[in-house]
Amino acid sequence: MQDQLIDTTIACWNEAAARRRAALAAEAFAADATYVDPLMEGRGPDGIGAGQARFPGLRFRRSGRVDAHHGPLRFCWEPAAGDGPAVAAGTDVAELAADGRFARVPGFIDLAPEA
In whole numbers, what is the pLDDT of the chain averaged over residues?
92
What pLDDT band is residue 115 in, cutting at 50, 70 and 90? low
Give the number of residues written for the chain: 115
Instruction: Round to whole Å and give the CA distance between 2 and 58.
Output: 24
Cα 113 from Cα 16, distance rounded (Å): 23
Give dist(CA 78, CA 35) in Å, integer: 17
pLDDT value at residue 2 = 87
Cα–Cα distance, 77 to 89 (Å, whole number): 6
Q: Does domain 2-111 have CATH number 3.20.20.70?
A: no
What are the structural domain ranges in the chain? 2-111
Q: In the structure, what pLDDT confidence band is assigned to residue 49 with cuts at 50, 70 and 90?
A: confident
